[in-house]
């Protein structure tokens, strides 16, 4: 049975610059590109879930300014990235094995499943009957901004559609990887057909 996704989170306006290098302390550097677009972790995840085919609602506060007007099972699964997992657990989370240990920490405190993303190292799933590593698909990344949010939105979309857990994680991994091949966040979110095509191509390359 299909289910709707409701996300409670932030909506922000993203301001992006791109240049050849970062400034040194006290230095002013003129970058060659500037652009703006909608963003915020809740918004990014909601757009990703909706763009990938799920009926989605976002509950968020917006400011009374130009940008704000423009926008106009609790803890059954927890999905932190490695930095968030480290902050919550107090443990170093820097690779697959340490992510497994962090996942065990969550389970001991009553969480049903811990899905921890590790950037280019992929993600791990830890549960009473799960301890799995999902490698990240290989892509030529140019901008990783918002990739974690795309992963979350894609994962929620697949879960809401009734997709099996492990397959939903694989789908989310490909969606997030594809999003890093384009600049920005919202404009970089792939549609469902692109994700499925990338998954198929990945299988063919491994055969």
Instruction: Kindly list the catalytic residues.
Output: 149
| CATH code, residues 5-21+31-206 | 3.40.1190.20
In this prediction, residue 78 carries a pLDDT of 82
Which residues, in sequence order, are CB contacts of 196 under 8 Å at separation 6+? none
Distance CA 143, CA 19 (A): 12
What is the per-residue pLDDT for 30?
84
Q: Give residue 59's pLDDT.
A: 77
Q: Which residue has the tokens 């899905």?
A: 115
Which of the residues in the chain have pLDDT under 70? 1-2, 64, 68-75, 203-207
**Which residue(s) pair with 112 in the sheet?**
none
**Quick one: which H or E segment has residue 132?**
strand 130-134
Tell me what pLDDT residue 97 has: 96
Q: Say if residues 156 and 46 touch (Cβ distance below 8 Å).
A: no
Task: Report the distance separating Cα 104 and Cα 109, nearest Å.
Answer: 9
C-beta of residue 168 within 8 angstroms of C-beta of residue 156: no
What predicted TM-score, i.e. pTM, was given to this entire model?
0.69
Residue 88: HSE in the Cβ half-sphere, 13 Å Cα cutoff: 20
Handedness of CA 162, 166, 170, 172 (dihedral sign): positive
- pLDDT for position 74: 41
Helix (H) or strand (E) holding 14: strand 12-18
The H helix count followed by the E strand count for the chain is 7, 8
């Amino acid at each position: 049975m299909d289910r709707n996704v409701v996300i409670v989170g932030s909506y922000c306006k993203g301001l992006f610059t791109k240049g050849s290098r970062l400034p040194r302390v006290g230095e002013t550097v003129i970058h060659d590109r500037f652009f703006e677009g909608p963003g915020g972790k809740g918004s990014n995840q909601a757009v990703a879930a909706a763009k990938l085919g799920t009926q989605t609602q976002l509950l968020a506060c917006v400011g009374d300014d130009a940008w704000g007007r423009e926008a106009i099972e609790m803890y059954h699964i927890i999905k932190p990235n490695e930095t968030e997992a480290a902050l919550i657990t107090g443990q170093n989370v820097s690779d697959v094995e340490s992510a497994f240990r962090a996942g065990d920490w969550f389970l001991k405190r009553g969480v049903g499943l811990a899905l921890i993303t590790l950037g280019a190292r992929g993600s791990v799933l830890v549960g009473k009957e799960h301890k799995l590593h999902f490698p990240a698909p290989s892509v030529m990344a140019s901008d990783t901004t918002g990739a974690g949010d795309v992963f979350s939105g894609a994962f929620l979309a697949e879960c809401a559609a009734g997709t099996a857990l492990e397959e939903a994680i694989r789908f989310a991994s490909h969606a997030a990887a594809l999003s890093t091949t384009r600049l920005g966040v919202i404009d970089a979110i792939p549609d469902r057909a692109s994700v499925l095509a990338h998954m198929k191509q990945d299988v063919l390359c491994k055969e």
